[in-house]
Amino acid sequence: MLKKLFDVFASLLCLIFLFPVFVFLGIAIGLKLGFPIFFTQLRPGKNGKIFKLIKFRSMSYKQKSDGSLLPDGDRISGFGRFLRSSSLDELPELINVLKGEMSIVGPRPLLVEYLPLYSQFENRRHEVLPGITGWAQVNGRNTISWSDKFDLDVWCVDNCNLFLDFKIIFLTFFRVLSRSNIDDSTGVGQERFKGSQKGNQ
């Protein structure tokens, strides 16, 4: 209950305080990448319940001659890479937190297509609300393996408390400001998850 109250209070306060930042980024994205300025995608939340994740758009809609989208690496610019490496593209997820679909701190919501690929152990990451930031994000982000990331997610599930949340939030600010644990110069993120290596543990 305390965590839920903190999430509502913190997300509402941040949305009010960061409103000028939202306006500035919205204008910048509209000018550099076009409209819409938001990117939405279905993601699994607590207990695997599907919700619509909201982010600032960081890629263009450039297409091939047949009308299909170009690969991610060809659609992201220096501006888009900056949005991702600075985590500014994640700010609209505060709306998801306010709606009760996410928490400030928790395992990051991954792709719906990964759901059937998880082992029983890895699927435990869905026992809590997904977060804007989490234990895995401050302990490697996209520089660690999927296996290590899931181990950190489940550890966070088993040890979640407000003190740990505050610690993760503090470390997140430090990691973002220092631009640490980012080894992807393309800005398109970690290689896709292709299945558990732990079987049905």
Helices and strands of the chain, counted as H and E runs? 7, 4
| Closest by CA position to 2, among listed 132, 193, 177, 164 | 164
pLDDT of residue 148: 93
pLDDT of residue 118: 94
pLDDT of residue 113: 94
Tokens of 23: 């306006």
Measured CA to CA, the distance from residue 147 to residue 122 in angstroms comes to 9
Domain residue ranges of the chain, discontinuous segments joined by +: 2-178
pLDDT of residue 186: 46
Q: Count of CB atoms within 10 A of residue 54's CB?
A: 19
Gyration radius (Cα) of the chain, Å: 17
pLDDT in tens, the chain (201 residues): 888 999 999 999 999 999 999 999 999 999 998 889 999 999 999 999 999 999 999 988 776 767 677 776 677 888 888 998 888 999 999 999 999 999 999 999 999 999 999 999 999 999 999 999 999 999 987 788 899 999 999 999 999 888 999 999 999 988 888 766 554 544 456 688 888 755 444
| Closest by CA position to 18, among listed 186, 164, 132 | 132
